[in-house]
Amino acid sequence: MITRADALEIMTAVIGAHPRTAPRWHDDHDAARATADIWAKMFNRHTLTKRDLLDAVVRRAADNPITAPEPGEIIAVARAVRRERSEREKAPSMQIDRDAADERRQAIEACRLCDPNGWIDTDDGRLTRCDHNRQIGS
């Protein structure tokens, strides 16, 4: 939830990133507050966080320095920032899954009893998961 104070902070970041072209909002406090309220409403339509929005101001300024951004441009970049962050946060758990699969495959390769999928015949002729710890003949 972006508050008026958050939006004012984002506007200050825009001024910092675009000292020549950003509007001088803070010269007129009433106008700055009114603008901040509108920006907050726009940002909250997309449930963006202040962190993603501040990252977006910096990224947008670094990639496109000519003019200060419209709030809609900050939203577009902030959504990309959020998407990339959630993909990054998902990645480590996928790595753990891959590591576990590698370990399982190596255990099957090292085991001389089970088939390539890790199954083994029991004495009564059914298939069961091999624990790869049985010795031949036991």
> Where on the chain is the footprint of Zn ion (CB under 5 A)?
111, 113-114, 130, 132
Amino acid identity of residue 69, one-letter, is P
Compute CA 76 distance to the chain's CA centroid, rounded to the nearest angstrom. Answer: 15
In the complex with Zn ion, the residue whose CB is nearer, 93 or 133, is 133
Three-class DSSP category at 22: coil
CB of 50 to Zn ion, least distance (A): 53
Q: Toward Zn ion, which CB reaches closer, 19 or 125?
A: 125
**58 or 108: CB nearest Zn ion:** 108
Report the SS3 class of residue 119: strand
State the nearest-atom distance from the C-beta of 106 to Zn ion, in Å: 11
Q: Considering only CA atoms, which of 19, 30, 78 is closest in space to residue 53?
A: 78
